[in-house]
Structure 1
């Protein structure tokens, strides 16, 4: 009897996201000026040690007046298959990212498996509030 490894691989590809609702967390960790009127926002994702992805995460950037100023997608490679790949980084870039007081609204979560896409419930994407360290310069005891 001939084995069918491609069928097994495609079946496993459909199981890449079998995490409990609290397993996939996302947070905004940084925004930098990327040159020529563009900025780049960094988003970190934590798989909770569960294999995840690849994913497309739909986002809207909403200004302080509540107006949607940009619609985009975070593309996330597969991750979480080991302790070394528990975390993944994704970037959102553009002119609108430079605006002050933006809110990022997540609008969709999609698992991408080859040509197939499966919409996942947004509640599977848990938002983590990022609290950066306080940074200070410690001066030496004597002046130079």
Structure 2
């Protein structure tokens, strides 16, 4: 009887620990659009999904690298204010504006990413809390 109480108690403690442990959800990002911004500049749009966790003061540093040669062509920073506390603002869009954003022959490398997650400043790369999601747009046809 004593043994079964210990097992039951251990099970309750384990379940309680799981319920009260705070694990930050990974923040997803993807390139969702690029638009012409005038005077030789383009704006690459990046969508961020917070998973409905409050994200504040997001700062993502990127390096633009030329495909084939792997030469660094430039760098930029994507910054966002608070978002993600509810389903109404779960997603946010950040921008990288540059002449380089018009170039299709580049890939981007995230070199640094930090944010306040539920009020705690986190290094998203160090803790594995930033994920890149590939985006595949729909093909649109106009028929008459």
Aligning the two structures, in what range does the TM-score lie when normalised by the shorter sequence? 0.7 to 0.9
Moved over 4 A (4+): none
Normalising by structure 1, what TM-score?
Answer: 0.75
Of the three residues 25, 49, 53, the one matched with 2:52 is 49
Normalising by structure 2, what TM-score?
Answer: 0.75
Indicate the RMSD between aligned Cα atoms, in angstroms: 2.1
**SS in structure 2 of the partner of residue 89 of structure 1:** strand
Using the alignment, how far apart are the partners of 2:116 and 2:38 within structure 1? 31
Structure 2 segments unaligned to the other structure (5+ residues) = 1-22
Whether 1:35 aligns to 2:38 is yes
Number of aligned residue pairs? 118
Using the alignment, how far apart are the partners of 2:53 and 2:64 within structure 1? 29
Using the alignment, how far apart are the partners of 1:127 and 1:61 within structure 2? 15
Using the alignment, how far apart are the partners of 1:125 and 1:112 within structure 2? 13
| 1:73 Cα deviation from its structure 2 partner | 0.8
**SS in structure 2 of the partner of residue 97 of structure 1:** helix
- Native 8 Å contact 2:42 2:97 kept in 1: yes
- Native 8 Å contact 2:55 2:116 kept in 1: no
Q: Which digits, 9 at most, give the CA deviation of each residue in 1:21-55, with x for residues without a partner?
A: xx310000111111111111000000011111221
Aligned to 1:89: 93
Q: Which digits, 9 at most, give the CA deviation of each residue in 1:87-124, with x for residues without a partner?
A: 000000011111222101101111269xxx94514121
Name the CA shift for 1:101/1:107 in 2 (closer, same or farther; >3 Å): same
Bigger-Rg structure (1/2):
2
- Native 8 Å contact 1:42 1:92 kept in 2: yes
Deviates more, 1:81-90 or 1:63-72: 63-72
- Native 8 Å contact 1:24 1:45 kept in 2: yes
